[in-house]
Structure 1
Amino acid sequence: MNTVLAAEAGNHTARNLTITLFLVFVAVTLAITIWASRQTKTATDFYAGGRSFSGFQNGMAIGGDYMSAASFLGIAGIIALYGYDGFLYSIGFLVAWLVALLLVAELLRNSGRYTMADVLAFRMRQRPVRTAAAVSTITVSIFYLLAQMVGAGALVALLLGIKPGTTFLGMDAGTAKVATIIMVGALMIIYVTVGGMKGTTYVQIVKAFLLMTGALLMTVLVLAKFHFNLSELLGAAADRSGKGDKLLEPGLRYGVEVAGNAKQTFYNKMDLLSLGIALVLGTAGLPHILIRFYTVPTAKAARKSVLWAIGIIGTFYLLTLALGFGAAALVGSEAITAQDKAGNTAAPQLAEALGLEFFGGDLGGAALLAIIAAVAFATILAVVAGLTLASSSSLAHDFYANVLKKGQTSERQEVRVARISALVIGAISILLSIYAQNLNVAFLVALAFAVAASGNLPAILYSLFWRRFNTSGAVWAIYGGLLSAVLLVFFSPVVSGAATSMFPKHDWQWFPLSNPGILSIPFGFLCGWIGTLISKENDEAKYAELEVRALTGSGAH
């Protein structure tokens, strides 16, 4: 099957359709954002959408927040290139929701107001805990934002037919990707500063619907191509991948056994274990997911929203099997890596191949590519808006209002600072994303999960369930887990010392694993335990009050 990109063949239909659809989506979401800004009058409206969303609406929005570029572009690409091993991401992301549901969703919603730090600081000294929580929230959000921006750059390069050596509007491939990253960053800043949580939530609901519809359509077409025979699909994927049956077996990317090198084999297996731990525990510590629980009016609605989210997200991750193996079978690994080395464009390339097959040649291929690309853009824009909102809310509510101003500030001032914070965080994310373009977006998100599980999760669980926990423990847990995770990533092959590193021409790596979770997560819990024991602070009455709030929601809002 011909999988040459339409743009390369001189056909500009895909480009024009995509630009049109993208502009339509941006116009619609901007209209929603402007409408939401008129409903945003208080800090509760800006941070928590006025707590006015139903369980189903919030479940859709959580799905919109969670099914990011990593899910749609990254996982499809990694399954297309590495088969069985790529599906580990889908399983890990889904199982993580059970941890979030059982351990934090309802208790966190009942205990806090706007941010994760509201719960952590309730029975502790406000300033050190809120400062640590703000630093952690911003760090995790920026790691996650990198993934979305990198996905945006790869997607636009595909749509405009830009490859190394080609140009568009006078820009080479690298410049065009950078321009895309800047554009996405500017749009996300507008969504947050203008619409707040209400605008962001409605954008995420629209995006979740579009993404599920697009993924379902592609899945049905892939299965129809192979006569709804999964075995036939997997066989074709294995044949076209160039890797044969190894595509369908574990060990192609993770846990690889290196003949004659027991040390490297051990490191590879530890990296696999580290990735799994980070994926399963990370969700319960992600700030942009945690703040979603504050947008519902009751604890019952919080539970319902998580159940809806599990259903939506679980269905989607099953569909990634068809998307990934379908791309391997119909596009081929050579065509995928020729367009993007990390495989981030596999899903849109599959859309074009399916359009060519089912909808009348080049025009059909261009049309389906345009639709799926617009959906992917919607995915990226909605997620980056949610991430920026989480980090700017933490900066304004936790650091500015409660640390710098010691609670002596008006809601209006606080919201203004949140909007300025969104601008600053957006600029930092744009700058860092330019250097991360060689990395797979699903892999980048796994790093964000590891950082979240290392710093935020120990502090949250200890705060909710350990009576003896205190200010010293919270600060030690957050900073200890956070610093260990970030430092291990910095000295790992992710940043330097490998062809796919952020800085491939430099080498300062000494930590052999790509994911730090296996060390940094236990270290975060250990730091919290040690920090607690070395301090004599112990307010049992305050813990009893927190326990009542967590179980009933009484007095929290």
Structure 2
Amino acid sequence: MTGHQGLALALFTAFVSITLAITVWAGRRRTSSEEFFSGGRLFSPLENGFAITGDYLSAGSFLGVSGLIALYGYDGVLYLVGFLVAWLGVLMLVAELVRNCGRFTLADVLSARMSARPVRIASGLSSITVAVLYLVAQMVGAGSLVSLLLDGEAARARTWTVVGVGALMVFYVVCGGMRATTWIQVVKGALLLGGSIVLTALVLTRFHGNVSDLLRAAAQGSGRGGAYLRPGLRYGGSGVARLDFVSLGLALVLGTAGLPHILTRFYTVPTARAARRSVVWAVALIGAFYLMTMVLGLGAAALVGSGAVRASNAAGNTAVPLLALDLGGGAGSTGGTVLFAVVGSVAFATILAVVAGLTLASSASVAHDLYGSLRRRRSGPSAAPDAREVAVARLAAVAVGAVAIVLTLYAQALNVAVVVGVAFAVAASANLPALLFTLFWRRFTTRGTVWSIYGGLVPSVVLVVFSPVVSGGSDAIFPRLDFAWFPLQNPGIVSIPLGFLAGWLGTVLSRAPADPGRYAEVEVRSLTGAGAA
């Protein structure tokens, strides 16, 4: 084992030890479903803002987007724009209203004025699908990082890393619930921002603070010259590529407001006003991070070279670790060893925190939405008490972790940002139309809600299965097969309108009209907080 391998392992072990201690401490204080699913709603806006930052800034941002910028320049930066702009919609349309209308999950909001059982089942299935896709992206990032760290046994290291990360995320959720998950995300958010600040300062120092010199060096290091700084390197050259870019942009901008693990964060604060202030803190922190990510991606192209990044990992997921090694003095140097180890441990922290939040959100959907609604139908309103829902959530966390591990083992060649973009597309197609219609359309009905969810979920998943992400290319999940008839990597441009159309169509074809009294009740509750949990 080399110096940077040993140091990175030591730092990562230290972080895991800290998070395990947090989990054990938090688990002793978890006494009810409110504690398990929402942390007792005791977090301040600043704490929750850091937790949202930690939850949102995933491996797709830290590893995937920086790698895309290193490889494709201008077109990679487009990911940052989409990820950040999305939060304006969350701030203005979603945060306060969701906090006032729900309790633990997205389905709580959707069922507030609808027949609960079909809406909860549909919303639960959609939330689990989005969470699993997002989990796969994080665990692919973990495998890429470890394969760089232990390049002598890359394939074996990836496999054991995926299994290990899956086991840790299950432990965090089963033993600590939302309280532990939130504090892990707070610590991870602080580490990620601190590490990014250090790396950004070193990159800018290398170019004496001259951004123009950095851009010129990045263009030269990319091997593409001026094309690196112009649109079209990844999403140009054909009408299909341009359409793929539009589809991606729609998914990134609209998908955040439908991500289940982000929506659950609004239930961890005591009031709707605190939820809005949490988002304000998150926007500031996330915006600062994405500015630094752009510098890191350009720095990787300028100092490491796009060719070297691609040789290390074809999808570009190792750009930031390689940049850290170069900034510290290169392979074999003490500075390079230390900086590489720090970046590696921060990346692992990023992955662990996000997968914990995703696993908790998906297990909450299984227990509170799927199991709760089925149990209540069989045995009455009191048939799914707190203790039973928490027990089911624990079992669901194990099952979700197992599914994510299996899928990840087949998806190691993908860029994590691409997989995250797919998850955003599914969220924007299935969850967002139903959420907006529920909050703002008086005539919206139960049938419209169910049709909206399935009308976005099924097309988006089907189109992904038959897209180049799954087959038909060297970087697909099944590179030796080719059953891709849908040409776009991201299905958002087709599936998002279908979700809205299905919701409208289901509503106008409903036999039972919407109850104006229930809509008025939800409207008052969403705007004033009267009766909120």
Q: Calculate the TM-score normalised by the size of structure 1.
A: 0.94
Q: Which residue of 1 aligns with 2:115?
A: 125
The 5-angstrom pairing of residues 151-550 of structure 1 reads 151-160=141-150, 162=151, 166-167=152-153, 173-254=154-235, 256-257=236-237, 265-356=238-329, 362-406=333-377, 407=381, 408-537=383-512, 538-550=514-526
Q: Which amino acid aligns with 1:395?
A: V
State the Cα distance separating 1:498 from its structure 2 match.
1.4
**Cα deviation, residue 240, structure 1:** 1.2
Deviation at 1:159, TM superposition (A): 1.2
**Overall identity of the aligned pairs, in %:** 59
CA distance in 1, matches of 2:241, 2:83: 21
- The offset of 1:269, in angstroms, is 1.2
Conserved? CA contact 1:94–1:310, under 8 Å: yes
Offset of residue 337 of structure 1:
1.3
Tell whether 2:61 aligns with 1:71: yes
1:6 aligned partner: none
Alpha-carbon distance between aligned partners in 2 of 1:356 and 1:534, rounded to the nearest angstrom: 67
Counting only pairs closer than 5 Å after superposition, residues 40-119 of structure 1 correspond to structure 2 as: 40-119=30-109
8 Å CA contact 1:53, 1:297 repeated in 2: yes
CA distance in 2, matches of 1:141, 1:435: 17
1:312 partner amino acid:
L
Q: Could you tell me which amino acid in structure 1 is paired with residue 10 of structure 2? A: T
Instruction: State the 1:175 CA deviation.
Output: 2.2
Residue 113 of structure 2 corresponds to residue 137 of structure 1: no
Q: Alpha-carbon deviation of 1:403?
A: 2.5
For residues 380 and 413 of structure 1, the distance between their equivalents in structure 2, rounded to whole angstroms, comes to 29
Separation of aligned partners in 2, 1:383 and 1:176: 21
Deviations 1:507-535 (A, max 9, x none): 11111111100010000000000011111
For the aligned residue pairs, the C-alpha RMSD in angstroms reads 1.0
1:361 is displaced (CA, Å) by 6.4
Instruction: Compute the displacement of 1:405 (Å).
Output: 3.2
Aligned residues: 528
**Which amino acid in the other structure matches residue 348 of structure 1?**
P
CA drift of 1:228 comes to 0.4
* Distance in structure 2 (CA, Å) of the matches to 1:329 and 1:268: 26
* Matched-pair contact (CA < 8 Å) for 2:375–2:384: no
Match of 1:5 in 2: none
Q: CA deviation at 1:339?
A: 1.2
The code of the aligned residue for 2:101 comes to S
Query: Would you say the 8 A contact 1:489–1:514 is kept in 2?
Result: yes
Question: How far off its partner does 1:26 sit?
Answer: 0.3
2-side partners of 1:493 and 1:335: how far apart?
Answer: 25
CA deviation vs aligned residue, 1:104-132 (integer Å, no higher than 9, x gap): 11100000111000010111111110000
Work out whether residues 469 and 476 of structure 2, in 8 Å CA contact, stay in contact via their aligned partners in 1. Answer: yes
- Structure 1 letter corresponding to 2:354: V
The residue type equivalent to 2:369 in the other structure is D
Q: Deviations over 1:13-61 (max 9, x none)?
A: 1011011000100000000111111111111111011000011110000
CA distance in 2, matches of 1:472, 1:361: 63
Structure 1 distance, partners of 2:478, 2:369, is 34
Deviation at 1:555, TM superposition (A): 1.3
Task: Please tell me whether the aligned partners of residues 121 and 373 of structure 2 are also in contact (alpha carbons under 8 angstroms).
Answer: no
Q: Provide the rounded CA distance (Å) in 1 between the counterparts of 2:447 and 2:427.
A: 19
Tell me if structure 2 keeps the 8 A contact 1:496–1:509: yes
Pairwise CA distance, 1:556: 2.3
Pairwise CA distance, 1:404 = 2.8
Runs of 4+ in 1 over 4 A off after TM superposition: none
Distance across 2 between alignment mates of 1:27 and 1:321: 31
> 1 CA distance for matches of 2:294 and 2:351?
21
Question: Aligned AA for 1:235?
Answer: R
Counterpart secondary structure, 2:328: helix
- Hey, what's the Cα distance between the residues in 2 that align with 1:101 and 1:22? 34
CA distance in 1, matches of 2:326, 2:346: 17
- How far the C-alpha of 1:338 sits from its partner, in A, is 1.4
Deviation by residue 1:444-494 (Cα, 9 ceiling, x = unmatched): 100000000000000000000011111100100001100010011111111
Match of 1:3 in 2: none
C-alpha distance in 1 between matches for 2:371 and 2:298? 48
Give, in whole Å, the separation in 1 of the partners of 2:310 and 2:245.
23
Which whole-Å deviations, capped at 9, do the CAs of 1:260-280 have from their partners, x for residues lacking one?
Answer: xxxxx2211111110101000
- Letter in structure 1 aligned against 2:446: T
> In structure 2, how many angstroms separate the alpha carbons of the residues matched to 1:140 and 1:37?
27
Instruction: Answer yes or no: is the 8 Å Cα contact 1:145–1:384 preserved in 2.
Output: yes
How far apart, CA to CA, are the structure 2 residues paired with 1:128 and 1:243? 53
Q: What is the CA–CA distance in structure 2 between the aligned matches of 1:16 and 1:267, rounded to whole Å?
A: 46
Kept in 2, the 8 Å contact 1:63–1:312? The answer is yes
Cα deviation 1:258-301 (Å, max 9, x = unaligned): xxxxxxx2211111110101000000000000000000001110
In the alignment, is the contact (CA less than 8 A) between 1:355 and 1:361 conserved in 2? no
Question: In the alignment, is the contact (CA less than 8 A) between 1:126 and 1:403 conserved in 2?
Answer: no
Residues in 2 aligned to 1:404 and 1:477: alpha-carbon distance in whole angstroms: 24
Over residues 376-405 of structure 1, what are the superposed CA-to-partner deviations in whole Å (9 max), with x where a residue is unaligned?
A: 000000000000000000100011112233
Picking from 518, 528, 531, the partner of 1:552 is 528
- What TM-score does the superposition give when structure 2 sets the normalisation length? 0.98
**2: CA distance, partners of 1:97 / 1:491:** 30
2:300, 2:322 → 1: CA distance?
7
Contact 1:396–1:417 (8 Å) recurs in 2: yes
Deviations for 1:415-447, whole angstroms, at most 9, x for unmatched residues? 010011000000000000011111100111000
Q: Is the 8 A contact 1:396 1:421 kept in 2?
A: yes
User: Helix, strand or coil for the counterpart of 1:356?
Assistant: coil
Q: What amino acid maps onto 1:394 in structure 2?
A: S
